C-alpha cells in the first residue's frame, strides 16, 4: 500500500498506531470485530469509505502517466477528511512526510 498514509489519529483504544498501513488496517479490522466499543466508528466508517473511493483516483493518475499526460508533474496527492492521504507516484511520498494530518 505504497503511496497511502493515515493521519496519526486515535481510531481505536485511544492510541495512535505506529505500524505499517496493512498492519494498521488489519489491527483496526480485528478491533472493530472483537471490541467495537473501543473504536470511534464514525472515523473508521469515513476512513473505509475514503480508501474505497480514492482507489479510483490512483487508477486515473496511473492512466495519465501511461498516456504521457503527466509531463512536468512531479507528484499528485489527495487528502481526505477520514485521515487518508494518497500520493502518486508512491516514490514521491517523502514530499508530504510532515503533512499527513489533514485536521
pLDDT tens-place string over residues 43-99: 999 999 999 889 889 889 999 999 988 888 889 999 998 999 999 998 888 777 776
pTM check: above 0.95 = no
For the chain, give every domain's residue range.
Answer: 4-9+19-96
Beta bridge pairs of residue 87 = 77
Through-space distance between the first and last CA atoms of the chain, rounded to whole angstroms:
22
Amino acid at each position: 500500500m505504497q503511496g497511502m498514509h493515515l493521519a496519526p489519529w486515535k481510531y481505536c483504544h485511544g492510541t495512535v498506531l505506529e505500524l505499517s498501513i496493512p498492519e494498521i488496517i488489519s489491527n483496526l479490522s480485528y478491533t472493530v470485530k472483537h471490541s467495537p466499543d473501543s473504536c470511534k466508528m464514525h472515523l473508521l466508517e469515513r476512513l473505509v469509505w475514503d480508501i474505497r473511493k480514492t482507489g479510483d483516483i490512483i487508477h486515473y493518475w496511473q492512466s495519465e502517466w501511461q498516456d504521457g499526460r503527466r509531463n512536468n508533474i512531479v507528484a499528485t496527492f489527495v487528502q481526505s477528511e477520514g485521515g487518508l492521504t494518497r500520493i502518486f507516484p508512491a516514490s514521491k511520498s517523502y514530499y508530504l512526510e510532515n503533512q499527513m494530518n489533514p485536521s
